[in-house]
Amino acid sequence: MRRLFLAAVLTLSGLGVTVPATFAAGLIIHVTTTADGEFPADGKCSLAAAIEASNTGAAAGYCGPGSAQPDLINFNLGGAAPVIALLAELPAITAPVTIIGGASRVRITGSDTLTTGLEIQATGTTITGLIVDGFVTGIHVSGTAGVNLMSNVVGPNSDAGILVDNGNTDVTIGSNIDTTRGSACADDCNLVKDNGRVGIEAHGGGDIEGNYIGTNAAGTLAHANGIGMLIADGTWTVGGHEAGARNLISGNTGAGVALADCTCTIQGNEIGTTIDGNHPLGNGGHGIDIERPFTSLIGGPGYGTPNLISGNGGSGVYIDTDLRHDGATLTINGNRIGMTNSGQALGNGGDGIYIGEFAPPTIIGTEIQHTGNVIADNIGNGVRVVGVGQTAIEIRGNSILKNGTKGIALESDANNSIAPPTITGTSPVTGTACANCRVDVFSDKADEGKTYHGSVTADASGNWTYTKTVYGPNVTATNTDSNHDTSEFSAPVVLSGGGGGGGGGGAYQPDGRINKFSGAYLGNNIYNTNGNGQTKSGIAKIGYIVEFHVSLQNDGDSADTFKLSLSNGSTDMYRIKVYRGSSDITANVVAGTYVTPSIGAGGTLTITVDVIVKKGAALNSSISRLVTIRSVGDSAQVDAVGFVAGRK
């Protein structure tokens, strides 16, 4: 991940300019006119002359000399929104420089007549705080390393907002400095919007973090680029697990992200939604469109790595290529495809994941906890695999539900047309499968696989038995053979006796999830009474708060209310406070008498739990509690999440 080199700064007194702390030896060149050209009629220092002075280390136009060290160009123009309207292109940047437009964001515009706004050909260049529009290409990076583009507004431009050519390395667009989810594009965030062909086209290598691509600054309305982002080759990280690293890539005319011939890691992004993740702002094409990938990762099992890919006009993830790179693999883990950030339906217009001809071996989820994707409510199939000879598509451990056609669809002999298992008994769940295949067992209300329970290996005769609890109301299963081919879901079988162990379907079913502060929720589609797999931990200093959020989702078919209870209250070392909005509901929750308002099927309600570390808390001590959620409509349907807070 990129260095946060703007975190340490020095402020130049009286200039209103914040300068990277790494800036030391170079000179400061002040742009004092908005006029065009190296020798403007007003006799002041223009931007064109300032770049030339920095390039040469000598005086240029009416600007003083630059230096042999990286210089800084700042703007002393006055006015709230200064505009430099160019009639001739600026000199290419051929020596390292930092250009800072400031809080007012100096606008550089070409009035739709010039090829390039800023041409960067120097390693170690930083561009921040500018508006660049009215060109064919707004910012062009060519043949360099260590270029940083931050806090700029790029667009509209007729072709590309930002173009990074092949051969560039360590290019950083944006940063991973934390911003609060739901806030406007600020800090180091670039706003890349209204560009004709593509918002960002990237070759070479680097990081693209914390940007808004195809929206307004608030992240609520579309300002479409053609394609949001095209990674055409090289090695790139798009997003990341830090809260501020995620990109918002929504509202574009074509695909949100297009990948070709790249080794890419795509993590933590919101693709097709508003910035809060809860409203549609879909890209017109696919969310992620992959062509000829090298080994790449979409999502991941770690904290903050899942992408939210929802509300797009095409498929959530679309893989179709005319060339398979030898040795390439593609991993798609932990993503939420077809839902909002709060778990409501927001399906993509095609399949959740589409895999066409010549795709590399692909892993979609695994049997390891937190690697499965949630693929729900898409108009087409959950996962669709197409093509004669298309094999080694492993689809395991996911939550796949409520898609328009099939949960998993294999077409044209894909995955060697491996047959699904047959379920022959339900107490315990037994059946037949291909010899020595792995059988994944699921619960669902219909014929897909909402809740993944676990896996078992069939014997040499194909017989298998799953002895652990299955919730139902229906049980389904898939086969995966030694070639990593996964089948479609089996025909659903009604669970005799309605299952057990906390539910997972039917008219009434609470689903508790918990996060710490603004992190990802844990516990979706996990139903138990002991908090296993859905407990969060946090630590704080004396006098500080560890904040948790408990999300109650109604996974039943009918509106319901839920009774909340806390396993115990405060102690001498820790004070626990529970809030619904600004209302303190602690006493009732501890007493087990708090009842939520009615929540419709699929609806959610969030409760805040604050754990205050009191003065008497011993170092390395902790407090552990369980929040139990019980359906009022059917008191047998229960879920529970846990939290642990300690002093550091």
d(CA 6, CA 291): 35
545, β-bridge pairs: 612
131 pLDDT more than 70: yes
For residues 324-351, give the mean pLDDT: 92
Residue 624 near residue 515 (C-beta atoms within 8 A)? no
Residue 60 near residue 49 (C-beta atoms within 8 A)? yes
Alpha helices in 21-167 (DSSP H): 47-56
Helix (H, G, I), strand (E, B) or coil at 585: coil
Which H or E run contains 565?
strand 562-566
> For position 97, what pLDDT does the model report?
97
pLDDT band at 182 (very low <50, low <70, confident <90, very high): low
Q: List all residues 6 or more positions away from 13 whose beta carbon is below 8 Å from its beta carbon.
A: none
d(CA 86, CA 108): 7
Write the CA distances from 608 to 243, 480, 548, integer angstroms. Answer: 19, 41, 6
557 pLDDT more than 80: no
Highest mean pLDDT of the ranges 430-444, 466-480, 499-513? 430-444
> For position 633, what pLDDT does the model report?
87
Q: What is the CA radius of gyration of the chain?
A: 28
Q: List all residues 6 or more positions away from 14 whose beta carbon is below 8 Å from its beta carbon.
A: none
**How much of the chain exceeds pLDDT 90, in percent?**
77
For residue range 283-332, list pLDDT tens digits in order: 999 999 999 888 999 999 877 899 999 999 999 999 998 777 888 999 99
Please, is 582 exposed, middle or buried when counting C-beta atoms within 10 Å of its C-beta (0-12, 13-18, 19+)?
A: exposed
For residues 250-268, give the mean pLDDT: 96
Residue 508 near residue 556 (C-beta atoms within 8 A)? yes
> For position 112, what pLDDT does the model report?
80
> For position 17, what pLDDT does the model report?
39
d(CA 437, CA 458): 5
Q: How many residues does the chain have?
A: 648
d(CA 485, CA 387): 13
d(CA 405, CA 383): 10
The structure tokens listed for 532 are: 């296993």
Number of CB atoms found within 10 A of residue 112's CB: 12
The structure tokens listed for 18 are: 């914040």
> For position 24, what pLDDT does the model report?
46
> For position 196, what pLDDT does the model report?
98
What are the backbone angles phi and psi of residue 292, rounded to the nearest 5°? 55, 60
584 pLDDT more than 80: yes
Its pTM stands at 0.81
β-strand pairing of 153-154 with 130-141: parallel
501 pLDDT more than 90: no
Position 318: which residue type? Y
> For position 471, what pLDDT does the model report?
80
Strands (E), 106-151: 106-120, 126-128, 130-141, 148-150
d(CA 15, CA 451): 59
d(CA 325, CA 290): 13
For residue range 270-285, list pLDDT tens digits in order: 999 999 999 999 999 9
179 pLDDT more than 60: no
pLDDT band at 78 (very low <50, low <70, confident <90, very high): confident
Mean model confidence pLDDT for the chain: 90
pLDDT band at 20 (very low <50, low <70, confident <90, very high): very low
16 pLDDT more than 90: no
393: left (phi over 0), alpha (psi -120 to 50) or beta: beta
> For position 18, what pLDDT does the model report?
40
